[in-house]
A and B are shown apart, each in its own frame.
Chain A
Amino acid sequence: MEIQELERKSIQYRKAILSIIKKANAGHTGGDLSCVEILNVLYNHVMNVSPENFTDPNRDRYIQSKGHSVETLFTVLADKGFYPEEELDTLNQFQSHFIGHPTRKVNGVEHNTGALGHGLSVSVGIALAGKKNGLSYRVYTLLGDGELEEGSNWEASMSAAHYKLDNLVVIIDRNTLQITGRTEEVSQLEPLSDKFKAFGYAVRETDGNDLAALVQVFGQIPFEKGKPSLILAHTTKGKGISFIEDQVSWHHHTPTDQEFVVAMTELQQAEEAWQVQYGTR
């Protein structure tokens, strides 16, 4: 998909994400908004996965280890046609399968997550099976930066390098915030890129909210033959809404009526600006 098309999708995704969070009056707003471009590029440009091939053993896999950003995943899966968008209106309602973390009861979701620090091990397993079965699919997994404090990630990283899983792509949503504050104040992560290199990854850093930069970096996978690829994606938590950006308080805050109107107006303006630039369609 063309970058300009992806740009429009990012705006529309943000509208949908905020709308379902507003309706459910629950959700992880900050972390949802920081990974919109990553999921957008993965599902619309990079991965070979769709409702049609979802049972194909050779489909690409996406495991969202930072499960709390589920509203973004559910929104993108609806857009891909895994289920009608209206179903998202039932988010968090009694007996709905659309809950606050990814679950395989929802079509298109590969793995149940929500407890941090599980997705990478599972992804290693799927990637290893791909090698054993001689299949060419890739496994993409998205981790939060705070999530990296879980030791299990580092155990999984050793397995990934040990088994030379160059079919595994780890993306870090490096928004520098977790619930309590800055990651560096809660538990020092830096020098993060060096740590990943030392654990055996081929590492690339990029602006994780820049669609063109993401398209470019995903185009280079595998970064090195025989090594797992890791994208350290520098993002802004709450990206796209002026008063939500980079605010620790917005981890799981949901918009008031007033905030919702302002946020949707900002997105509407962004979409109008897009129209002016690329013409109406």
Chain B
Amino acid sequence: MELGKPNLEVFADTLLELGQQHRDLLVVTGDSRGSGKLVLFGQKLPEQIVEIGIAEQNLVGVSAGLASTGKKVFAVSPASFLTARSFEQIKNDVAYSDIPVKLIGISAGVSYGALGTTHHSLHDFAALRAVNNIHIVVPADNFETRKAIEASLDYPYPLYIRFGKKAVPHVHDPSTNFEIGKAIKLKTGSDVTFIATGETVFRAVEACNLLEGQGISCGVISMHTLKPLDEAAVLEAARDSRVIITVEEHSIHGGLGCACASFLLQEGLHNPFKIIGIPDEYNVNGSQDEILEYYGITPGGLAQSARDLIYVEVPE
């Protein structure tokens, strides 16, 4: 896979283009325009950027107010602060009040590496999945990021989009069809399917390549929309493959894995199943790559998890 740009940059480029076409598009920042790569946006479209300062709760509340008048509002802040600090504003002023603000969580997951737990967002899927009337999109690569931002512009529901900071490989062909709520199947396999989301998808694709070299038939799904979950795609994967493994840069609690597991169980399907994410412990310190490696969210680690599940001895 060829290395692309950081999804963050694609987001900023796309937003600038959209902002130039739609003068009712507003970006709201909280001392975050530098980290959001929005300095150029601010220079080119100074009337379309609203600076709130370091006040994430206020940022979301103000965004809701702006959007309630029909403005197309992108509220941009590090995923960690946006979803933890402003949680009640998201729940009440955006989701419950049904105002289609686009909440953009930047530098998500463990992107901030050694800045530590205060800056990591490993709670955001779980928190927002429990809020009615907000949808969650987690793009895997530059293609999905651009498509998600474009699709968000007139999207009728409150939306949370989150991505990381580092350059990611291209996983999709630009001719792929993208629709919020519709998973993208990258590969089909009968032994195992990885259902991955966001910037872990490319790792799952690489794991798949390793496994196929070992004669294991392997599928990959990019579950870019966490909510509403594409249940048909999950069901199909569970019927096509014996083993299901979910992958996310999030706590193992309450994210993609839990969404898939609870759905499959209620459908009466009991495939061997594993949720790969960040475990519930005092998390190790290090760079993003070091943290992900430590928790086995690497091609090698994912392939090992798959083998462990495929070759498990079934008791008599």
Contacts and interface: CB of A to CB of B under 8 A. Distances in A.
Interface of A: 24, 26, 67, 92-97, 99-101, 103, 112-117, 146-147, 149-151, 178-180, 186-187
A151 B290 contact: no
Contacts of A100: 112, 114-116, 119
Please indicate which of the listed interface residues B34, B52, B116, B290 has the most CB atoms of chain A within 10 Å of its own CB.
B116
Nearest to A101: B116
A24 B286 CA distance: 11
Contacts of B80: 115
Interface stretch (B53-61, B64-72, B133-141, B175-183): B53-61
Given A93-B286, A115-B81, A115-B85, A180 B31 contact: yes
Interface string B80-109: 110011000000000000000000000000
A186 B116 contact: no
B284 A147 contact: no
Given A97-B285, A115-B85, A147 B54 contact: yes
B51 interface: yes
A100 B119 CA distance: 10
A121 B26 CA distance: 33
A249 to B, nearest CB: 10
A113 B51 CA distance: 24
Interface residues of B, number: 31
Interface of B: 29, 31-35, 51-55, 57-58, 80-81, 84-85, 112-119, 284-287, 290, 294
B297 to A, nearest CB: 15
Contacts of B116: 99-101, 103, 114
A146 B53 contact: yes
A176 to B, nearest CB: 14
B290 A94 contact: yes
Given A115-B81, A149-B55, A187-B53, A96 B285 contact: yes
Nearest to B286: A94
A146 B284 contact: no
A33 B129 CA distance: 42
Nearest to B35: A179
Contacts of A147: 54
Please indicate which of the listed interface residues B52, B54, B113 has the most CB atoms of chain A within 10 Å of its own CB.
B54
A181 B212 CA distance: 52
Given A93-B286, A94-B286, A94-B290, A187 B55 contact: yes
B53 A149 contact: yes
A126 B84 CA distance: 24
Nearest to A148: B54
B54 A146 contact: yes
A101 to B, nearest CB: 5
Nearest to A118: B118
Nearest to A114: B118
A115 B118 contact: yes
26 contacts: A24-B114, A92-B286, A92-B287, A93-B114, A94-B284, A94-B286, A94-B294, A95-B285, A99-B114, A99-B116, A100-B115, A101-B115, A101-B119, A112-B117, A114-B119, A115-B81, A115-B84, A146-B54, A149-B54, A151-B57, A179-B35, A186-B31, A186-B51, A187-B51, A187-B54, A187-B55
B54 to A, nearest CB: 4
B53 A114 contact: no
Contacts of B52: 149, 187
A95 B284 contact: yes
B58 A94 contact: no
